[in-house]
Structure 1
Amino acid sequence: MGTMFYGDDSTALHFEDRALAHLKVVIATKLRRGESFTISWVHGPGEQRGRSTVWISPSIPLRFVFDDPEPTTLNPRYLDQLATSANSSGGIQLIDEDPVP
Structure 2
Amino acid sequence: MGKFTYDQEVRVDIDDRLLLHLQIVIGNKLRRGESFYFSWRLDPSLGHGRRSVWIHPYAALTFTFGESRTTQMSRAWIEALATTANSQRGLYAVPEPAPDAVGDGEIRELMDA
Specify which structure has the bigger relative contact order, considering alpha-carbon pairs within 8 angstroms and separated by 6 or more residues: 1
How do residues 32-47 of structure 1 correspond to structure 2 at under 5 angstroms? 32-44=31-43, 46-47=45-46
Structure-2 separation of matches of 1:54 and 1:17:
20
Change (3 A) 1:78 1:45: farther
1:5–1:11: 8 Å Cα contact kept in structure 2?
yes
**Which residue of 1 is the match for residue 5 of structure 2?**
5
Structure-1 separation of matches of 2:47 and 2:62:
24
Which structure carries more helix by proportion? 2
The normalised TM-score by structure 1 is 0.87
The normalised TM-score by structure 2 is 0.79
Mark the runs of 5 or more structure 2 residues left unpaired by the alignment.
Answer: 101-113
1:41–1:95: 8 Å Cα contact kept in structure 2?
no
Three-state SS of the structure 2 residue aligned to 1:89 is coil
Larger Rg: 2
Deviation per CA, 1:10-61, whole angstroms, max 9, x where unpaired? 3212111111000000000000111110112223455432222111111111
**Which residue of 1 is the match for residue 54 of structure 2?**
55
- Percent of aligned positions that are identical: 39
Three-state SS of the structure 2 residue aligned to 1:41 is strand
**Which residue of 2 is the match for residue 25 of structure 1?**
24
Structure-1 separation of matches of 2:86 and 2:97:
20
Number of corresponding residues: 100
1:86–1:92: 8 Å Cα contact kept in structure 2?
yes
Mark the runs of 5 or more structure 1 residues left unpaired by the alignment.
Answer: none
Letter aligned with residue 41 of structure 2: V
Structure-1 separation of matches of 2:74 and 2:2:
18
